[in-house]
Every structure is written in structure tokens, then in C-alpha cells.
Amino acid sequence: MLAEEMLAILFMYLKAFAVGGAICATAQIIINVTSLTSGKILVFFMLGGVVLTALGLYQPLVDFAGAGATVPISGFGYLLANGAIKGAEKGFYYAVTGSLSAASAGVTAAVVFSLIMSLLFRSKTKRS
């Protein structure tokens, strides 16, 4: 029984790595092949997550890959769209605020940890 559970966990990690890696590799290929900036690609991937969630196509990917689909920036778009969709069930006000409340924990953690790191370390300019 223990071997089956470990095999299931290993398979879960492999699925997450494959899907997350494919998303990141796609972004890297776009960076290498086009003249788009990283910021524009980031926005396109986030909006892609929103659109795929609205079309009902991102949820099966999340169900299959777990963190492999939710950790990349397209997963942030999924989170925002999912919060808005769930909020819309309660009314217009919650449709507008649903995405903000869904993402509030992650954004708060990013701000707090960024503050801590800025207090602990000094920034330096990159020398070419």
C-alpha cells in the first residue's frame, strides 16, 4: 500500500512538473523568437489564464496538474477569473470584488515577503 501511495505522489509531481514546465518553456520560446518584452508576455499569459477559465478550459488543466497549472502566471489569471465567476453568483458587486478577495492572500504574502527581503538585503545594480 505504501508503494502505491508513493507512486501516486511521484506521478502527481511529474504531472505538475510537465505542465508547469510546458507553460514556462512556451513563454521562453516566445521570448527567444519574438521581439515582445517579458512584461507583455506576462500580461498575455495572465489574460490567457482568464480567457481559458472563462471558456471552462483551465479548470480541467488545474484538476490534472494541480500546482503545475496554478503556480505560473496563467494560474493567477485563473484565480482572478474564478473569484469573479464565483462572486457573480451573489451579484454584480461580488463579481467585481470576488477576484480581489480570491487573490488577496497571495498578493499580501508577496508584499510582506518583499518588505522583509528589502529590509534584510541591499539591492545592487547589475553590471553587464
φ, ψ dihedrals at 37, nearest 5°? -80, 160
> Is residue 44 assigned to a domain?
yes
Residues 6+ apart with CB under 8 A from 36: 30, 44
Q: pLDDT digits over 80-126, tens only? A: 999 999 999 998 888 889 888 888 888 899 999 999 999 999 888 87
> Is residue 48 assigned to a domain?
yes
CB-hemisphere CA count at 13 Å for 104? 8
> Is residue 127 assigned to a domain?
no
> Tell me, what DSSP letter sits at residue 34?
S
> Is residue 9 assigned to a domain?
yes
Q: pLDDT digits over 8-26, tens only? A: 999 999 999 999 999 999 9
Residues 6+ apart with CB under 8 A from 71: 20
Give the domain extent around 98. Answer: 2-120
Residues 6+ apart with CB under 8 A from 110: none
Report how many domains make up the chain: 1
Residues 6+ apart with CB under 8 A from 103: 76, 79, 80, 83
> Is residue 113 assigned to a domain?
yes
> Is residue 126 assigned to a domain?
no
> Tell me, what DSSP letter sits at residue 128?
-
Q: pLDDT digits over 45-90, tens only? A: 999 999 999 999 999 999 999 999 999 999 999 999 999 999 999 9
> Is residue 77 assigned to a domain?
yes
Tell me the whole-structure pTM to 2 decimals: 0.80
> Is residue 49 assigned to a domain?
yes
> Tell me, what DSSP letter sits at residue 90?
T
Grid cell, residue 73, equals 502566471
Grid cell, residue 117, equals 527581503
C-beta neighbour count of 50 within 10 angstroms: 20
